[in-house]
A and B are shown apart, each in its own frame.
Chain A
């Protein structure tokens, strides 16, 4: 049993460009994304600020993963992860990762050159906003249980199904809808680009962490042939890869949340006094914080590992690493969030502090696209598929 085939290493220090990317991102959010600004975006702009999105486009983040020939930066998973971390620190509500990672990788991997020219520059510039419809009420994101189906009709396709947790659905111009091709019994999949104007029935709601999402219902929606990205063959691997890439950036985002939570908690326990001394002078509190730190570092390393592996190959190892990162981010995320609340005492259970907001974001990141139990099982299954005797990752 082995890990990824690995010829070698490696220098894991950040390059100057990577440091700069992260610094710019952090500074941007520090200046333009205070708690008040964030609240305004949620309450007054439907959770997707035009101004902020324009800035994301200017900074090149929408096209972070888009190949340069389509106007993007063509950067790798580590760069995407670095930006994702700053999103987590700042509790950004805009669905940046959905666009910059999930949508862009789906298009890049599946679409025809003509379709790529149609969609990628528009995604990169922010001219068109994308939402991805993959989850379903009965099966989360698990492709094997997907019920949305697209049947061939005389002039294209007929799409039917119910999608849930479509982030940014109310402001998106285009939905990328993951569907079975054929009936429930068929095993092939595809991604359809569905304009919002052909809008399915929408039931908007907020998620626990105040992001804007919706249920979508498609009832025999007629789509032209070229609504399908690429061909009707062999799309499953590409869809899973796009999801895996998204998982990894979500793991980085979670680490950003955890870093912010730990820092806030240290600040609080260093100031708050009871029994004539600071909370931080108690060993059990110090140890709890140290335990949180250890979990964060493991999650951070797992996320970095997955980013590096995905950049190198699309193989089973990449999928395993992505699941591993999601497991660590989910487990550490819950532990750190729960303990942060705990160490803030009564205040931690109120909306007064940002602690609760980080908690809810970490739970969202834990549950979306597969909880730790799901991904642990996936890791087990993928491990069984690896060839024996392969040289393990160091």
Chain B
């Protein structure tokens, strides 16, 4: 067991720090800090993504042959850690972390050649068409239908909770191409052009006041068969692959630590506003969160060690997801309580980073209640906590 960076890794860490100093602007950091929704707005991350792309660092998890930097898992950790600690904008994952790996693994040569570079450059902006009003946790029961007509599929149905569909020019979607005893066996993976006739994007406003997600209606949308990934009715397999690809996990702990550090600084720096913060209960809660972040960090590093030595960490990703989401919620929750009654003052402007004239409260404080409200989604999206408990019970504890 070794608790010291190798000289090579230390040098790499310095390289990353230099890159951050030269390319991460205070405007970018401010934009990320004022992000109340779960995902960062393109106005905040686009320049950052471009800078990373120029350096060849935009897709740390991708294999070198497709444009990844060829880093070791340790280097990826260091990179994510430094970016997290520096408060760099979060890139959205739909292209880089979701459809990209699926195309790499299951796409045709033509699909790889067309889509992969455009994901890296940010020229294509992807959204994910998975959930439906009737199919959330039980995604396999989805019913948006794709019926074969010549060289096209004709898609009819609806998707919901589609993050940033209003920014996206492309969508990857799971659609039903057959009815079968096992619903998973009738699902295909399609790539759609968001400008296709028949696609209607309707905003859904969250309780935090943000327009992040949408409901999409497909009314006879024609999608070329050439835009299908792999074989018909094998879409579920491709979607499941993503879980394997992300097995190493994103290293969220440094970002959480930065959020907590920043909250402490905010409380200390704008004390007059944090009317709830003098109670010792708040200090204890902040310490408790920090203790959990320390533990989560070591947990993720242990998983990294397992991955590096060729072991499969199995469903520990479910444990991590639970811990990450509960820590995130704990931070937003203590922030609200510390801000006290001042958290009730509401700013309508969204996105908040566009607010140029602060009224009544500094913008960062106006972000606290919306972030808390929108943050309830952390234990719901990407597999609810209840589903994670089901997975842990079945796959880690071996309960049949």
Binding site for A on B (CB under 8 A): 1-6, 9-10, 13, 74, 77, 81, 85, 253-254, 257, 261, 264-265, 280, 283-284, 286-288, 290-292, 294-299, 301-302, 304-306, 308-309, 316, 319, 322-323, 386, 388-390, 392-394, 396-400
Which chain B residues lie closer than 8 Å to A290 at the CB level? 388-390, 392-393, 396-397
Sampled A-B contacts (19; CB under 8 Å): A7-B5, A8-B10, A12-B298, A13-B302, A280-B400, A283-B390, A286-B390, A287-B393, A289-B397, A293-B397, A294-B319, A294-B322, A299-B295, A305-B294, A305-B298, A328-B292, A380-B286, A392-B257, A393-B297
Most-contacted residue by chain A among B85, B287, B305 (CB, 10 A)? B287
Contact with B along A65-90 (1 / 0, CB 8 A): 00000000000001000000000000
Q: A304: nearest residue on chain B (CB-CB)?
A: B298
Once the chains are docked, how many angstroms separate the CA of A246 from the CA of B1? 21
Asked if residues A379 and B291 are in contact (CB atoms below 8 Å), the reply is yes
Which chain A residues lie closer than 8 Å to B397 at the CB level? 262, 266, 286, 289-290, 293
Which chain B residues lie closer than 8 Å to A13 at the CB level? 1, 302, 305-306, 308-309
Asked if residues B288 and A9 are in contact (CB atoms below 8 Å), the reply is no
Asked if residues B4 and A394 are in contact (CB atoms below 8 Å), the reply is no
Most-contacted residue by chain B among A290, A308, A321 (CB, 10 A)? A290
> With A327-B291, A394-B253 given, is the CB distance from A298 to B2 under 8 Å?
no
Asked if residues A394 and B290 are in contact (CB atoms below 8 Å), the reply is no
Asked if residues B399 and A280 are in contact (CB atoms below 8 Å), the reply is yes
Asked if residues B392 and A3 are in contact (CB atoms below 8 Å), the reply is no
Asked if residues B291 and A324 are in contact (CB atoms below 8 Å), the reply is yes
Asked if residues B291 and A302 are in contact (CB atoms below 8 Å), the reply is yes
Which chain A residues lie closer than 8 Å to B400 at the CB level? 280
CB of A312 closer than 8 Å to a CB of B: yes
Contact with B along A368-394 (1 / 0, CB 8 A): 000001001101100100000001111
B15 to chain A minimum Cβ distance, whole angstroms, is 14
CB of A42 closer than 8 Å to a CB of B: no
Which chain B residues lie closer than 8 Å to A220 at the CB level? none
A322 to chain B minimum Cβ distance, whole angstroms, is 11
CB of A270 closer than 8 Å to a CB of B: yes
Asked if residues A8 and B393 are in contact (CB atoms below 8 Å), the reply is no
Which chain B residues lie closer than 8 Å to A2 at the CB level? 261
Asked if residues B392 and A294 are in contact (CB atoms below 8 Å), the reply is yes
Which chain B residues lie closer than 8 Å to A274 at the CB level? none
B388 to chain A minimum Cβ distance, whole angstroms, is 8
Once the chains are docked, how many angstroms separate the CA of A393 from the CA of B253? 10
Choice from B2, B10, B323 contacting A11 with Cβ under 8 Å: B2
CB of A315 closer than 8 Å to a CB of B: no
Once the chains are docked, how many angstroms separate the CA of A7 from the CA of B5? 7
B274 to chain A minimum Cβ distance, whole angstroms, is 15
Once the chains are docked, how many angstroms separate the CA of A291 from the CA of B396? 12
CB of A297 closer than 8 Å to a CB of B: yes
A392 to chain B minimum Cβ distance, whole angstroms, is 6
Chain B at the A interface: mostly helix, strand, loop or mixed?
A: helix
CB of A301 closer than 8 Å to a CB of B: yes
A314 to chain B minimum Cβ distance, whole angstroms, is 15
B304 to chain A minimum Cβ distance, whole angstroms, is 8
CB of A1 closer than 8 Å to a CB of B: yes
CB of A18 closer than 8 Å to a CB of B: yes
Asked if residues B393 and A286 are in contact (CB atoms below 8 Å), the reply is yes
Asked if residues B301 and A9 are in contact (CB atoms below 8 Å), the reply is yes
Once the chains are docked, how many angstroms separate the CA of A12 from the CA of B295? 13
Asked if residues A324 and B10 are in contact (CB atoms below 8 Å), the reply is no
Most-contacted residue by chain B among A280, A287, A293, A301 (CB, 10 A)? A301
Asked if residues B389 and A287 are in contact (CB atoms below 8 Å), the reply is yes
Once the chains are docked, how many angstroms separate the CA of A380 from the CA of B315? 34
> With A12-B301, A266-B397, A297-B299 given, is the CB distance from A394 to B257 under 8 Å?
yes
Per the CB 8 Å criterion, the residue count for chain A at the interface is 50
Which chain A residues lie closer than 8 Å to B3 at the CB level? 9-10, 308, 311-312
Which chain A residues lie closer than 8 Å to B253 at the CB level? 394
A244 to chain B minimum Cβ distance, whole angstroms, is 15
Which chain A residues lie closer than 8 Å to B390 at the CB level? 283, 286-287, 290
Which chain A residues lie closer than 8 Å to B389 at the CB level? 286-287, 290-291
CB of A15 closer than 8 Å to a CB of B: yes
Q: B254: nearest residue on chain A (CB-CB)?
A: A394
Once the chains are docked, how many angstroms separate the CA of A11 from the CA of B298? 10
Choice from A11, A298, A301, A380 contacting B1 with Cβ under 8 Å: A11
B223 to chain A minimum Cβ distance, whole angstroms, is 38
Which chain B residues lie closer than 8 Å to A12 at the CB level? 1, 298, 301-302, 304-305
CB of A197 closer than 8 Å to a CB of B: no
Choice from B288, B295, B399 contacting A270 with Cβ under 8 Å: B399
Once the chains are docked, how many angstroms separate the CA of A270 from the CA of B323? 26
CB of A14 closer than 8 Å to a CB of B: yes
Asked if residues A293 and B392 are in contact (CB atoms below 8 Å), the reply is yes
Asked if residues A289 and B294 are in contact (CB atoms below 8 Å), the reply is no
Most-contacted residue by chain A among B254, B295, B296, B396 (CB, 10 A)? B295
Asked if residues A3 and B257 are in contact (CB atoms below 8 Å), the reply is yes
Choice from B286, B308, B399 contacting A266 with Cβ under 8 Å: B399
B54 to chain A minimum Cβ distance, whole angstroms, is 26
B303 to chain A minimum Cβ distance, whole angstroms, is 9
CB neighbors of B among A272-313 (8 A)? 280, 283, 286-287, 289-291, 293-294, 297-299, 301-302, 304-305, 308, 311-312
Asked if residues A298 and B257 are in contact (CB atoms below 8 Å), the reply is no
Asked if residues B393 and A298 are in contact (CB atoms below 8 Å), the reply is no
Which chain B residues lie closer than 8 Å to A305 at the CB level? 294-295, 297-298
Choice from B9, B288, B298 contacting A327 with Cβ under 8 Å: B288
Once the chains are docked, how many angstroms separate the CA of A12 from the CA of B297? 11
Asked if residues A298 and B299 are in contact (CB atoms below 8 Å), the reply is yes
Which chain B residues lie closer than 8 Å to A8 at the CB level? 4-6, 9-10, 13
Which chain B residues lie closer than 8 Å to A321 at the CB level? 294
Asked if residues B392 and A301 are in contact (CB atoms below 8 Å), the reply is no
> With A294-B319, A376-B287 given, is the CB distance from A9 to B295 under 8 Å?
no
List 15 extra interface pairs beyond A13-B309, A311-B3, CB under 8 A: A8-B5, A8-B10, A13-B1, A262-B397, A270-B399, A280-B399, A290-B388, A290-B392, A294-B322, A301-B295, A321-B294, A328-B295, A377-B280, A383-B286, A394-B253
Which chain A residues lie closer than 8 Å to B265 at the CB level? 1
Asked if residues B308 and A11 are in contact (CB atoms below 8 Å), the reply is yes
Q: B2: nearest residue on chain A (CB-CB)?
A: A11
Once the chains are docked, how many angstroms separate the CA of A289 from the CA of B286? 27
